[in-house]
Chains A and B, each alone.
Chain A
Amino acid sequence: MSLVVDGVWKGFATRTGTQWVLRDVSLTIEAGQFIALIGHSGCGKSTLLGALGGLVPIDAGRIVLDGNEVRSPGPDRAVVFQRYSLLPRLSLARNVAVAVRSSRRDWPKTKVDEAVERTLRAVGLWEHRDKKPHQVSGGMQQRCAVARAFAVEPRVLLLDEPFGALDALTRARLQALLVDLWSSESDTEMVVMVTHGIDEAVLLADRVVVMSGPSGPSIIDVIEIDIPRPRDRVTISDDPAFRTAQARLLDLLERDLNWEVA
């Protein structure tokens, strides 16, 4: 069970020619892994995530999930977007229900209802299920988006800077919630998360993929985070492995900054 990215290229046409955002990207993600994609804006991390989700067509290479090539969105992969991805006129429960019904058309109604209730309870929104997105806070909206993603029971969970728009305390709670859901509640095997937070990447991930642009290789390094779980966000900063990874990532990203400020 693995997600294999093999020699993927993706370019966008510009006035000065094609700009290659993904340059020969190869990466293998094994079951049970939490991967963080990190890099400065424009490095292609969100493009890579979109390609994994089947939302962005790639120009060359292959993305293979358990022997099946990924070309379009599928029920084995769910995405949590940065924000505002709930449908504004539907209640929280309906937001989840419509997604589950559409994604899992073969599920009977009872199973759909059960998935909606189980995930909304897990993120603590069952009492608020009849509220519209604008009636709840940004953190609650994002919790609903996380519930929606888990409700379709994906093999791979893709997160595109899911907590970037939230305040620090809410973000911390959602990070913990995410790991909790992933480890105990679900059959989801892999998580791939785009982030620009070094601490978030080290705290959550097993491997951090550092990306760069717009020249040279897309992936400049992959850092293994060898800190045993469960991880405690308060005491983890004392862990030498945390500090080492943090310093290494900071160094890589600092050195990669020159192209962006040009």
Chain B
Amino acid sequence: MSSPAGLIIAEPELTDPRGAVDATLPDSTHAAAPPLLRQDPGRFLTVLRSVAIGMVGVVLFGTAWAAVSARSGQLPGPVQTLSTLVELLTQAFDTNGPAGQGIGLQLRDSLVRVLKGFLLATVIGVPVGFAMGLIPTMHRMWNPIVQIFRPVSPLAWFPIWLTIMVKADPAAVLVIFVSAVWPTILNTAAGADSVPVDQLEVARVFRFSWVTRLREVVIPHALPSIVTGLRLSMGVAWMVIVAAEMLSAASGIGFYVWQSYNGPGLAHVISAVLVIGVVGLLLDLGFQALGRRVAHVGARS
């Protein structure tokens, strides 16, 4: 048993709480009025200003575009493109247009392929990443393969997948998978590998089981890295899908770009490019929002 022990902190004695202390302080009823704060411009004005500055950029870009367009004679200008874009968007879900089905339906086909490939990459990439991040042997085993394949353009895989899968559609999905799996693996591994030593020691001292350590320590710590990996993967996948569909597909936004080039012309192509950009931005914003939700709290780790 422990020895009878104890430690006392003496409380400061206050004989007369309204005595000596109060006399030295200014009377609160005669406190000076607080100075006026500088006027906050307000949220509305702040937003308005940043939108206006953004518009300046758009106008400058449009002017340069119009100038190039006027000199070349081939390139449609911003005004012409914009009217084409509006036309395309009003017919977005038509089944029969100048370049096959409408741009909305093409987008849907592309998104379905990207989603399939992306999910496959997530389902495989996250566990492989954890294995590589947590088990040094796994890292040594898989790292050379990752490092060799990662810099290869995913399109180089297309003939391989086409031969294996025979059909173009699953081949495109697998190309997306190959493009998207590396950032997920590497970022998951980095997240799982970077758990602070203090937290790992806590897990050891209190003899956490393997499952508890993973659930309460490693996964919570790795979550922001994983989401970063997914975001990068989605970015690459969205870039690659266009090229993959241009190579060989009967639908999709990439197919649409190529069909427009061969058929109705560059105004359609540029409109499609703008649509691709906006969709990519929206996907990225979605993952950014997810990233903020799982971001580490406080200033540490």
Contact = CB atoms under 8 A, between A and B. Distances in A.
Interface string A203-244: 110100000000000000000000001111111000000000
Interface size range of chain B in the complex: 20 to 34
A44 interface: no
Given A103-B206, A152-B206, A183-B5, A84 B216 contact: no
B204 interface: yes
B2 A53 contact: no
Interface stretch (B6-14, B21-29, B270-278): B6-14
Contacts of B32: none
B142 interface: no
Contacts of B202: 81, 85-87, 99
A121 B209 CA distance: 27
A74 B6 CA distance: 27
A186 interface: yes
A103 B220 contact: no
B6 A103 contact: no
A164 interface: no
A179 B6 contact: yes
Nearest to A84: B198
Nearest to B6: A230
Nearest to B9: A176
Given A81-B202, A88-B220, A134-B298, A233 B207 contact: no
Contacts of A186: 2
Interface string A169-181: 0001101100110
B217 A87 contact: yes
B262 to A, nearest CB: 54
Contacts of B204: 55, 73
A88 B297 contact: yes
Contacts of B4: 183, 229
Interface in B169-223: 196, 198-199, 201-202, 204-209, 212, 216-217, 220
Nearest to B219: A89
A197 interface: no
Contacts of A203: 7
Contacts of B216: 87, 90, 98
Interface in A88-106: 88-90, 98-103
Nearest to B215: A98
Interface in A7-51: 31-34
A78 to B, nearest CB: 7
A234 B10 contact: yes
A86 B199 CA distance: 7
Interface string B202-246: 101111110010001100100000000000000000000000000
Interface in B246-301: 296-298, 300-301
B208 A175 contact: no
A189 interface: yes
Given A99-B202, A134-B297, A230 B7 contact: yes
A100 B201 CA distance: 15
Contact of B300 (A34, A88, A102, A173): A88
Contacts of A79: 201, 205
Interface of A: 31-34, 53, 55, 73-75, 77-79, 81, 83-90, 98-103, 132-134, 148, 152, 172-173, 175-176, 179-180, 182-184, 186-189, 203-204, 206, 229-235
Interface of B: 1-10, 196, 198-199, 201-202, 204-209, 212, 216-217, 220, 296-298, 300-301
7 contacts: A81-B202, A84-B196, A87-B216, A98-B206, A98-B208, A102-B212, A233-B8
